[in-house]
Structure 1
Amino acid sequence: MAGRTAAVAALALLLLAGCARPAAVGGPGTAAADVHDAWTSCAKAIDDPRSSAGASALELPRLPADFTPAGVVVCAMDLQTRADGGQDEVMAERHGSKVDGLTAALRLPDKPLTATACDLDLPGVAWFAMIDAGGRWVRPGIAHDDCGKLRIEVRDAVEHLELRTVATTVLAEMKSAAAAKAGCEQQWSDMVGTVTSNEPAPQEHPFDPPKSDVRLCVYTVPASEQGSAKPAGTFERGGPLPAATWTALRSAMLPAGPARPCPAHASRFALFRPAADNGGEVYVELDGCYRMLWFGPSGAALRQGSAAIADQITKAL
């Protein structure tokens, strides 16, 4: 969920600590790999409980000794931009036939768990299946390294596969055409609700919205999100504001005093971001408590807005 930034953040804690080693429950000989008769599609393979889609690759039985791979299928989640500017989350199915390197990596044994210090990152690998000349397929387990993580040889082999995309399946719309045209994200967190759920609310910093051109994005907060620790809003409408309109709105906001105690939760909020996207955001509740929040270089500042300011914002586009 997007908050103050739209990026999707990956776990990358590089603190040194004792190695967190998963139990090696899927090594060679512990269970027979489930070999399927014929490949159908990524969607069906991952929905099939026999494929152990939810299992860690470390826990799966290894590639059978009598299974000779002739190809590979990689199933990956991608973000695809449409012609109208909107974006979809898709399942991409990619096939490849040069699998000698990957096969060799999958035959590697577990390394002894001898490392004394391991970082805390959690490296993963795309969901993939090996296919033999007869069309049978298997999702193989992967050996672990001396920290108990996936062997780098397998991850490298998967990343360097020569693949061609044979199918894409749309799973969900991530950004509508209207949001893309407006220059807004499809979803954004109501940071007023987020900040005020933690006490004390920031009052001491200057309230100094940017003077430069801004973009306005209006979001609706469903009832299920209102009052949560980080309420999520869905794009309603938006676009660049004329300079004169923003100047008038900014002037109306500046005299605002400290936010008053209020238990209500907003069902709509406005987000103002500099058109240059160089930092500094203003959030305004369009109903509920009508509070305003400025995130800037000096820190966060919460102020008390009004129904009149909210109405002025609503009419700005």
Structure 2
Amino acid sequence: MRSGRTALTVALLGVALSGCVGSGTSPNAQDDPGPAQIVERWTSCAEAAPHAGTMPIAPPAPGRSASPAPRGLASPAPQGSASPALDAPAVGRIDSAFTPVTAVLCGGEIRPRPGGGREQVATERRADEIGSLTAALRLPDQRADGEAVCTLDLLVPPWLALLDDRGRWLRPYLPADSCGKPRREVRAALDGLRLTTVDSRTVREIESAAAEAAGCGQRWADMVWVETTVGRPGPLAPGAVADAGPLRLCVYRVSPAEQGGVKPAGDFAYGGALPPDRQASVVRALATTRPATHCVIPASRFAVLRPMDGGGRESYVELDGCRRVMVVPPSGGPRLGQGDAALAALLGPV
């Protein structure tokens, strides 16, 4: 078991001031909730909140279909939204006849895998010293006074349950401040909990050991298909591609279900640093491509070539299907050319 002191996850979607001020009414559209529904017996996060900590935990990054989130991210559902569990108890105020003795937080985290790579894990964590939290949860909502300035950062509380000494439990309402976010007293109390992890289960692989060793993302989007479907890349002029230092090769497979979609997602197949002699041949092939022919056959495999230092241009090559080539320079729009089987052969396993 592990202990920790951090409970409240902060998802920073933007920290600039929103420019809006309080309107003189409650930040919540509904009235203050009534008493929380009390459930007779707690079982586990896996049963009470099966989706807490299991949902995708970050929006896709450019070029990728998925991207890992900061470690320790809890359930993505904001406080006040419906629980994903079937027949979930209603969130509400703590009844005076209910005396909480334990807090349970259902969430998740990204952690290294023993053999390499990373995985998403759903966790159940508990704290028994919850006097400050209980007091904070009994506070009223703060009303806007017309002077409050609210920021755009989004606070994402964990999926929280309180248990009494009989094993009964409820989901408490988190009192809001004048901007509709959990009050600072609630945040401080959650952050101050001494938590022990009592259960965890693997949800999904985020990054395989092979992808980590190759320096490639586990999933990537087929940007040749994306750009040629929703845009019109300019022509790739002969000689426009120059050798700019060591390159990393990452190759992805696109499942039949993804092929032809809006943003087809590929799963890592193989990759690594290109050997210098093969890189020279690849660069020559990219520099001598002819204009792309009209084609609408989705690729089942594509390659991404990126500088080992992480800067500079990206090059995409469809390894089957239309076999097109697209180069994305550091500035300016993407450029499209026509590849062939010989170029695809150069991009085999390293």
Q: What is the TM-score of this pair, normalised by structure 1?
A: 0.84
- Alignment equivalent of 2:80, drawn from 58, 65, 83: 58
| Alignment partner of 2:270 out of 222, 227, 237 | 237
Unaligned residue ranges in structure 2 (runs of 5+): 1-10, 52-74, 82-90
1:110 to 138, 141, 144: 141
The runs of at least 4 consecutive aligned structure 1 residues that moved more than 6 Å come to none
Q: How far, CA to CA, are the matches of 2:166 and 2:308 in structure 1?
A: 57
- Contact kept in structure 2, 1:58 and 1:144, CA below 8 Å: no
Determine if the alignment matches structure 1 residue 23 to structure 2 residue 41.
no
Q: Among residues 88, 91, 106, which one is paired with 2:122 in the alignment?
A: 91
Preserved contact between residue 88 and residue 174 of structure 1 (Cα < 8 Å): yes
Residue matched to 1:4 = none
Please state how far the C-alpha of 1:273 moved relative to its aligned partner: 1.9
Task: Identify which of 41, 50, 60 aligns with 1:38.
Answer: 41
Residues 129 and 298 (structure 1 numbering): CA distance in 2 closer, same or farther, change over 3 Å?
same
TM-superposed CA distance for 1:73, in Å, is 1.3
Contact 1:281 1:295 in 2 (8 A): yes
Q: How many residues are aligned here?
A: 302
Offset from partner CA, 1:184-208 (integer Å, 9 cap, x none): 2211111111222223324479843
Match of 1:171 in 2: 203
Alpha-carbon distance between aligned partners in 2 of 1:94 and 1:273, rounded to the nearest angstrom: 41
Matched with 2:66 is: none
CA apart distance, 1:115? 4.5
What does residue 156 of structure 1 align with?
Answer: 188
- SS across alignment from 1:78: strand
Q: Does 1:139 align with 2:171?
A: yes
* Aligned equivalents of 1:113, 1:227: Cα separation in 2: 49
* Runs (5+) with no aligned partner, structure 1: 1-8
Paired position in structure 2 for 1:72: 103
Question: Over residues 103-129 of structure 1, what are the superposed CA-to-partner deviations in whole Å (9 max), with x where a residue is unaligned?
Answer: 121111011133465334432111121
* In structure 2, C-alpha distance between the alignment counterparts of 1:209 and 1:229, rounded to whole Å: 31
Mapping of 1:259-278 within 5 angstroms? 259-278=292-311
Deviations 1:253-288 (A, max 9, x none): 112244333222222100112222234321111112
Give the letter aligned to residue 38 of structure 1: R
| SS in structure 2 of the partner of residue 145 of structure 1 | coil
Instruction: After superposing the two structures, state which structure 1 stretch, 179-188 or 102-111, moved more.
Output: 179-188
What is residue 8 of structure 2 aligned with on the other side?
none
List aligned pairs for 1:158-307, cutoff 5 A: 158-203=190-235, 207-208=240-241, 211-307=244-340
Deviations 1:58-90 (A, max 9, x none): 362122222222221111111121121122211
Does the 8 Å CA contact 1:113/1:148 hold for their aligned counterparts? no
Q: TM-score, normalised by structure 2?
A: 0.77
Q: Which moved more, 1:35-44 or 1:303-312?
A: 303-312
What root-mean-square deviation, in Å, do the aligned CA atoms of Structure 1 and Structure 2 show?
2.7
